[in-house]
Amino acid sequence: MENRVKKAGVAKLEVAGKVVDLPVYEGTVGPNVIDVSKLYAQTGHFTLDPGFTSTGSCESQITYIDGEQGILLHRGYPIDQLCDKSNFMELCYLLLNGKLPEKTQYDAFLKEVKHHTLLHTQQDRFFDGFRRDSHPMAMLTGAVGGMAAFYPNTVGNEDPAERKLGSIRLIAKMPTIAARCMKYTMGQRFVDPLNKLSYSENFLNMCFSVSAEEYDINPVLARAMDRFFMLHADHEQNASTSTVRLAASSGAHPFAAVAAGVACLWGPSHGGANEAALRQMRAIGSVDKIPEFVRQVKDPASDIRLMGFGHRVYKNYDPRATVMQKTCHEVLEALDMKDHPQLKVAMELERIALQDEYFVTKKLYPNVDFYSGIILEAMGFPTTMFTVLFALARTVGWVSQLNEMLDDPTQKIGRPRQIYTGEAQRDYVPISAR
């Protein structure tokens, strides 16, 4: 990876009476960074940053977020423009290769992805080892990690061609695995991919078609699914992406590193947020119950939180939420579900939150999870599948970030530091003498 950071000056830090100079670097856009990589060698001190909220772990050229302005760029392109004019497969090419494809490049990429959609027949047997009521994310974590047993050559990391093939395999096979997770919990027969269909159409067909009857793919739903994938493709150095990078930094098999990302995404504070937002709207039930709910949210003595609003990064309107809101209306209209009770609750909650001083001052704007749960439920996905769909979409981001890290000569095995507050060294006393 070509290094693009520019030196912007020097920061002086005084520690225990000693002044040290720390390099300051600037990127293309965004805040400058202070390089503290040699701080310990110079001062004998580490930095402490719980949650890494003020610490940059890497240089990246893939995704940029300005949370204050509500901006999300992939390789420089705004997410709303990509969702309006492009599709998920073109976005995958962009994230992986750093540029938009020419027509011949796009066609070749599409053909290569479709060539690798099938699973090894033995891999289907993995699912028989799970209980029927297993959470789909548990199955997805195991199935993705298990792919490393079928493609052991990818572990080398040194061969660019092998790594590229591994990237294609992950993107191609993840919809097949995800659809099998859903079919297995429903007790239905697995549906193999149909390569004549688009990426999103193929996934919907594998999830919802049955052998007993024809399944007609609604183009509005296929486009909505494609947008969902695009809106979740990558999001800078979030928890699951950082997990993938950290796992891969040890030289672990890329499929195992991605499985670690799947496991991290499972958490309700990360990938499960849209499921939590939908549960909350169900609990509210109807528009007339919203005033009492809002009163409880404002009450400092209450443990009620407003789900689907606010974001760790965005302190403005989440740009993905605008696209998701439009998509939500398109889906519900196509399915003749405009009177969907959760949508009415969602619209009124959004109206109140955007006008109420309490929410405005706290910058609690709707995020992408606010509407996505309604869309997925309307399309027929069980709530347990929501995070699986997120993982499917995020796979290309994980793979792109992993490859970028492996190509970066400055990266090394991750090893965060700590401040130790346990007992100091003590002498051991045998149990007979205690």
- Residues assigned a catalytic role: 311, 369
Contacts of 79 (CB under 8 A, 6+ apart): 72, 73, 230, 231, 319, 320, 323
Number of H helices, E strands in the chain: 18, 6
Q: How many other β-carbons are positioned within 10 Å of the β-carbon of residue 384? A: 18
Q: How far is CA 204 from CA 195, 382, 389, in A?
A: 13, 13, 11
Q: What is the Cα–Cα distance from 381 to 295, expressed in whole angstroms?
A: 32
Q: CA angle 71-297-343, nearest 5°?
A: 65
Q: Are 157 and 252 in contact (CB under 8 A)?
A: no
Assigned token pair, 5: 């950071």
- Strand, helix or coil for residue 176: helix
71-74: strand order across its sheet: 63-66, 71-74, 77-78
> Do residues 399 and 92 make contact, with C-beta atoms less than 8 angstroms apart?
no
Pairing state between β 77-78 and 6-15: unpaired
Task: Using alpha carbons, select from 273, 287, 280, 282 the residue that is nearest to residue 345.
Answer: 287
Query: What tokens were used for 239?
Result: 């928890």
d(CA 45, CA 27) in angstroms, rounded, equals 26
> Cβ distance 321 to 309 under 8 Å?
no
Exposure string of 15-51, with b = 16+ CB inside 10 Å and e = fewer, is eeeeebebbebebeeeeebbebeebeeebeeeeeeee
Q: Which two tokens stand for residue 346?
A: 């969602």
Tokens at residue 96, please?
A: 């992986």
Packing angle between helix 136-146 and helix 254-265, nearest 10 degrees? 170
Q: At 350, give phi and psi (nearest 5°).
A: -65, -45
Rounded distance, CA 324 to CA 274, Å? 12
Contact (CB, 8 A) for 143 and 175: no
